[in-house]
Amino acid sequence: MKMNKIKEMSSPELENELSELKSELFKLRFSLATNGLDNPMKIKEVKKDIARVKTEIRKRELNNN
């Protein structure tokens, strides 16, 4: 996910996206532990997306105060 797309999202959409990414990360980790993944780099991508979303949420919190 690109930062441009993240910046265009509203705060509730960001919160929703964060929860979806966290559940996706859980599923990827679970499938990696049980039977392996086709693309283990997907975990790294999802973690980076989570960090990007959290960064944007925090930036908005600081701008509001």
Question: What distance in Å separates the CA atoms of residue 42 and residue 49, rounded to the nearest whole number?
Answer: 11
Other beta carbons less than 10 A from residue 42's beta carbon: 15
Model confidence pLDDT, tens digit, residues 8-39: 999 999 999 999 999 999 999 999 999 888 89
Q: What residue spans define the domains of the chain?
A: 3-64
pTM of the model: 0.90
**Does the domain at residues 3-64 carry the CATH identifier 2.10.240?**
no
Residue partners of 50: CB distance under 8 A and separation at least 6: 18, 21, 22, 25
Is the pLDDT at 41 greater than 90? The verdict is yes
pLDDT category, 64, cuts 50, 70, 90? confident
Q: Report pLDDT digits (tens) over 42-56.
A: 999 999 999 999 999
